[in-house]
Amino acid sequence: MDTHKKRYEVDLEKLEAYPVTKRGADLLRDPLLNKGTCFTLEERKVLKLHGLLPPRVLTMEEHLHRIRENYDRQPSKLDRFVFLEALHDRSETLFYRFLVDNLEELTPIVYTPTVGEACDKFGHLFQQSRGMYFSVSSQGHFRKMMDHWPQDDVEIIVITDGSRILGLGDLGANGMGIPIGKLALYIACAGIYPSKTLPIVLDVGTNNEKLLGDELYLGEKHRRLQGDDYYDLVQEFMLAAHDRWPNVLIQFEDFSNDHAFPLLHKYQSRYLCFNDDIQGTGAMVLAGLLAALRITGETLHDQQLVFLGAGAAAVGVADMIVAGMVAEGFTVEQARERFWFLDSKGLVTTTRGDTLAAHKIPYARKGACGNTLLDVVRNVKPKVLLGLSMQPGAFTEEVVREMHKQTEKPIIFALSNPTSKAECTAQQAYAWTDGSAIYASGSPFDPVECNGRTIIPGQANNMYIFPGVGLGVTISHSRRVTNSMFYAAAKRLSSLVTEETLLQGDLYPPLKDIRMLSAEIAAAVWETSVKEGLTSEPKPENVLQYIRERMYQPTYIPYKAV
Q: Which residues pair with 199 in a beta bridge?
A: 158
Active site residue 539: no
Q: How far apart are the first and last CA of the chain?
A: 38
Query: How many Å apart are CA 377 and CA 406, to the nearest integer?
Result: 9
The stretches of 2-73 forming alpha helices (DSSP H) are 4-8, 24-28, 41-46, 60-72
Q: Rounded to 5 degrees, what are φ and ψ at 414?
A: -100, 95
Q: Which helix (H) or strand (E) holds 241?
A: helix 227-244
Residue 493 contacts residue 466 (beta carbons within 8 Å):
no
Active site residue 560: no
Torsion angle of C-alpha atoms 112, 87, 196, 478, degrees rounded to 10 = -30
The stretches of 111-215 forming alpha helices (DSSP H) are 114-120, 122-125, 142-146, 177-190, 209-212
| Residues listed for the chain | 562
Residue among 367, 394, 380, 392 at smallest CA distance from 306: 380
Torsion angle of C-alpha atoms 365, 370, 371, 374, degrees rounded to 10 = -120
Q: How many Cβ atoms sit within 10 Å of the Cβ of residue 381?
A: 14
Q: Rounded to 5 degrees, what are φ and ψ at 395?
A: -85, 85
How big is the chain by its Cα radius of gyration, in Å?
24
Query: How many Å apart are CA 254 and CA 280, to the nearest integer?
Result: 12
Among candidate residues 35, 71, 182, 230, the one labeled active-site is 182
Give 103-117 as a 3 state SS string. HHHHHHHHCCCHHHH
Among candidate residues 111, 430, 487, 556, the one labeled active-site is 111
Query: How many Å apart are CA 93 and CA 10, to the nearest integer?
Result: 14
Residue 135 contacts residue 442 (beta carbons within 8 Å):
no
Q: Which helix (H) or strand (E) holds 90?
A: helix 77-90
Q: Rounded to 5 degrees, what are φ and ψ at 51?
A: 85, -15
Query: How many Å apart are CA 476 and CA 387, to the nearest integer?
Result: 35
Residue among 517, 437, 315, 545 at smallest CA distance from 445: 437
Q: Rounded to 5 degrees, what are φ and ψ at 156?
A: -135, 125
Classify residue 140 by its DSSP letter: T
Query: How many Å apart are CA 399 and CA 464, to the nearest integer?
Result: 29
Residue among 544, 465, 450 at smallest CA distance from 508: 465
Residues marked active site are found at 111, 182
